[in-house]
C-alpha cells in the first residue's frame, strides 16, 4: 500500500524515474480498488462510482507511467504511442517490464539507489 501512497504523493510529477516495483505495485492497487468500486457500484446501482475513481487517479497514473518510461531511458512522449491500437499498448507493456538503466541517465539517478560496479 505504501507504493500506492508514494505515487499519490507525487500527484502530478512527470520528472524523474520510477522503478518497476513502484509502477507495478501502484497498478496492482489501482486494479484492486477499481474492481471493488465496480462491484459496489454495480450492487448499489451507482455505475458511475469507478468512473469517479478513474478520473481521480488519471494524473498520478500518467505521472508514474512517464517516470517509468524515463527509468528505461525513454522520453515520456512514448506514452502517446499507447493510443495506437494493439501495437502501442503491447509496446508500452514491454517497456514497463524492462529493467532500469543501471546508472544515472538524463532523467535522474537510478531509483534503486546503486550504480553497477565497473568491470
**Average pLDDT of the segment spanning 10-26:** 91
More confident residue, 64 or 102: 64
3 pLDDT band (50/70/90 cuts)?
confident
**Average pLDDT of the segment spanning 75-83:** 92
What is the residue range of 10's domain?
Answer: 2-97
Q: Rounded mean pLDDT of the chain? A: 90
Residue 69 lies in a domain: yes
Predicted TM-score (pTM) of the model is: 0.85
119 pLDDT band (50/70/90 cuts)?
very low
Residue 54 lies in a domain: yes
Residue 117 lies in a domain: no
Residue 24 lies in a domain: yes
pLDDT for 116 equals 56
18 vs 112: CA distance, rounded Å: 9
Number of domains in the chain: 1
Q: Percent of the chain scored above 70 by pLDDT? A: 95
Residue 105 lies in a domain: no
- Close Cβ partners of 29 (under 8 Å, ≥ 6 residues apart): 1, 3, 4
Residue 114 lies in a domain: no
Residue 28 lies in a domain: yes
Residue 112 lies in a domain: no
More confident residue, 78 or 116: 78
Amino acid at each position: 500500500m505504501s507504493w500506492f501512497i508514494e505515487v499519490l504523493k507525487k500527484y502530478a510529477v512527470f520528472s524523474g524515474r520510477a522503478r518497476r516495483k513502484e509502477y507495478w505495485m501502484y497498478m496492482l492497487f489501482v486494479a484492486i480498488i477499481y474492481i471493488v468500486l465496480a462491484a459496489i457500484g454495480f450492487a448499489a446501482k451507482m455505475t458511475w462510482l469507478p468512473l469517479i475513481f478513474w478520473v481521480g487517479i488519471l494524473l498520478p497514473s500518467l505521472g508514474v507511467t512517464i517516470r517509468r518510461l524515463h527509468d528505461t531511458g525513454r522520453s515520456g512522449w512514448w506514452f502517446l504511442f499507447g493510443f495506437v491500437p494493439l501495437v502501442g499498448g503491447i509496446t508500452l507493456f514491454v517497456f514497463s517490464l524492462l529493467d532500469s538503466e543501471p546508472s544515472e541517465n538524463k532523467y535522474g539517478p537510478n531509483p534503486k539507489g546503486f550504480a553497477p560496479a565497473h568491470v
